[in-house]
């Protein structure tokens, strides 16, 4: 029976197992969103996962929503990422860059810019964080600001930024990119009827609401190839004011169209912390029929649940998020049945002054 420890060939990318380290924002880039040696060490420590998907990485200053997240739009950022990809590849790992535009989930206190979104609708009960300049305190949570509605020019600009970011990712040595279409950020805002009230070709019905995602995917494919382009989506998630009764139909339509584009994978973000609904097997089967390439699923998995969906051939790769933070050698621990460590201090999840709670977790020793 198939299980998570099997090797897996995802087009030209050979994975040593079917476990992925899920994308996790850790807010530890240097000034101006430049990755550092410490980031390289953190990712290299986790390179025994079959596939690392990097933390979300903004494609422009406008696309940033939180303090100290990395970017992929300046030469210094590209050079910083080279440290990471080199270190991961040296350990035999594979790494994909998650491309991010937060849309309305931002504040001018983060990047000096009014957020932009499909419609001028503020995300209720949604916050982002900043640090004081000396980072002497914990992150300070602040409410997001009302976005301005994107003009057609803004949309074309974002499409271009995604394409350039994908090109930069390949220059930085990544094995591919993942378009972040999940978790209430810009592309998810376009997909959903509650956040997208546009009347142009990017809104009004589900056929139009998927247009921006498809146009971006198309442009990236032209730049780096379909075999290097994945997409993350979260049809079951409702946090960040993303309740949309039409999202499942919209998602299935997007999956059908992405299948025509022959993209590398769809990565389902199934649960986020407490927002963790049960995923019906009928949904998984329908997606399998519609989408023929790799399916990655992430969200509250245990080894047992992961092996269940893989052995039933509903999913090809399972992502683990939180377990990878205190267990850099997660794959070996699961394989050997070693105990799993817990996150020691949740204040170190997002930001921190040094390696504490980041790259100071050790491998399990007998
Ligand atoms: C600290 C932290 C940061 C995260 N940052 C991102 C991110 O940058 N991009 C993203 O798509 N998901 C992000 N997520 C969601 C994870 O990728 C994953 O879907 C989620 O943690 C559920 O998986 P788990 O139950 O195995 O932790 C983050 C989760 C955590 C815990």
Whole domain around residue 96: which residue ranges?
A: 8-348
- Contact between 266 and 230 under an 8 Å Cβ cutoff? The reply is yes
d(CA 123, CA 229): 29
Q: Domain for residue 174, yes or no?
A: yes
Q: Domain for residue 87, yes or no?
A: yes
Q: Is 183 in the pocket of ligand 1 (CB under 6 A)?
A: yes
Active site residues: 185
Confidence (pLDDT) at 276: 64
CA of 96 to the centre of ligand 1 (A): 15
Residue positions counted in the chain = 366
Q: Domain for residue 107, yes or no?
A: yes
Q: Domain for residue 29, yes or no?
A: yes
Q: Is the dihedral of CA 238, 241, 244, 245 positive or negative?
A: positive
Question: Ligand 1, atom 12: nearest CA belongs to which residue?
Answer: 23
Q: Domain for residue 365, yes or no?
A: no
Confidence (pLDDT) at 253: 98
Q: Domain for residue 361, yes or no?
A: no
CB neighbours (10 Å) of residue 48?
20
Interval 307-319: pLDDT, tens = 999 999 999 999 9
CATH number of the domain enclosing 340: 3.20.20.70
Confidence (pLDDT) at 173: 98
CA of 321 to the centre of ligand 1 (A): 5
Identify the bridge partners of residue 129 per DSSP, sorted by sequence position. Answer: 141
Question: Ligand 1, atom 28: nearest CA belongs to which residue?
Answer: 24
The percentage of residues in the chain with a pLDDT greater than 90, rounded to a whole number, is: 92
> pTM for this structure?
0.98
- Tokens (6 digits) for 46: 């986790």
Buried b (16+ CB within 10 A) or exposed e, 298-314: bbebebeebbebbeeeb
d(CA 10, CA 326): 27
- Contact between 35 and 81 under an 8 Å Cβ cutoff? The reply is yes
Q: Domain for residue 364, yes or no?
A: no
Q: Domain for residue 83, yes or no?
A: yes
Domain count, the chain: 1
| Ligand 1 atom, smallest distance to 269 CA | 19
d(CA 223, CA 36): 27
Confidence (pLDDT) at 46: 98
The DSSP code sequence of 181-242 is E-TTSHHHHHH-TTT----STTSSSHHHHTHHHHHHHHHHHHHH-GGGEEEEE-TT--TTT-
Interval 341-365: pLDDT, tens = 999 999 999 987 789 999 999 999 8
Question: Ligand 1, atom 3: nearest CA belongs to which residue?
Answer: 24
- Tokens (6 digits) for 163: 């394409």
Interval 175-218: pLDDT, tens = 999 999 999 999 999 999 999 999 999 999 999 999 999 999 99
Q: Is 349 in the pocket of ligand 1 (CB under 6 A)?
A: yes
């Amino acid at each position: 029976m198939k299980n998570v420890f099997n090797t897996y060939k995802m087009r030209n990318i050979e994975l040593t197992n079917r476990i992925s380290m899920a994308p996790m924002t850790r807010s530890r880039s240097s000034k101006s969103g430049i990755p550092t040696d410490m980031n390289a060490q953190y990712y290299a420590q986790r390179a025994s996962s079959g596939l690392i998907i990097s933390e979300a990485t903004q494609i422009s200053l406008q696309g940033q929503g939180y303090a100290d997240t990395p970017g992929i739009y300046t030469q210094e950022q590209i050079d910083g990422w080279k440290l990471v990809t080199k270190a991961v590849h040296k350990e035999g790992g594979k790494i994909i860059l998650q491309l991010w535009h937060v849309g309305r989930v931002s504040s001018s206190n983060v990047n000096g810019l009014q957020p932009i979104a499909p419609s001028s609708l503020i995300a209720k009960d949604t916050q982002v964080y900043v640090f004081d300049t000396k980072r002497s305190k914990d992150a300070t949570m602040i409410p997001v600001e009302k976005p301005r509605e994107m003009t057609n020019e803004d949309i074309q600009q974002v499409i271009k930024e995604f394409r350039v970011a994908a090109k930069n990712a390949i220059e930085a040595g990544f094995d591919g990119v993942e378009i972040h279409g999940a978790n209430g950020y810009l592309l998810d805002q376009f997909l959903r009827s509650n956040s997208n009230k546009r009347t142009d070709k990017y809104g009004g019905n589900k056929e139009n609401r998927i247009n921006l995602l498809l146009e971006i995917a198309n442009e990236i494919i032209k730049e780096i190839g379909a075999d290097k382009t994945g997409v993350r989506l979260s049809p079951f998630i409702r946090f960040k004011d993303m309740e949309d009764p039409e999202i499942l139909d919209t998602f299935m339509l997007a999956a059908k169209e992405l299948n025509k584009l022959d993209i590398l994978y769809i990565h389902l973000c199934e649960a986020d912390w407490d927002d963790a609904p049960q995923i019906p097997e009928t949904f998984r089967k329908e997606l399998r029929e519609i989408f023929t390439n790799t399916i990655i699923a992430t969200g509250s998995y245990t080894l047992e649940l992961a092996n269940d969906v893989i052995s039933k051939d509903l999913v090809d790769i399972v992502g683990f998020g939180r377990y990878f933070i205190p267990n850099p050698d997660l794959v070996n621990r699961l394989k050997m049945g070693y105990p799993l460590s817990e996150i020691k201090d949740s204040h170190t999840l997002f930001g921190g002054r040094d390696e504490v709670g980041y790259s100071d977790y050790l491998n399990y020793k007998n």
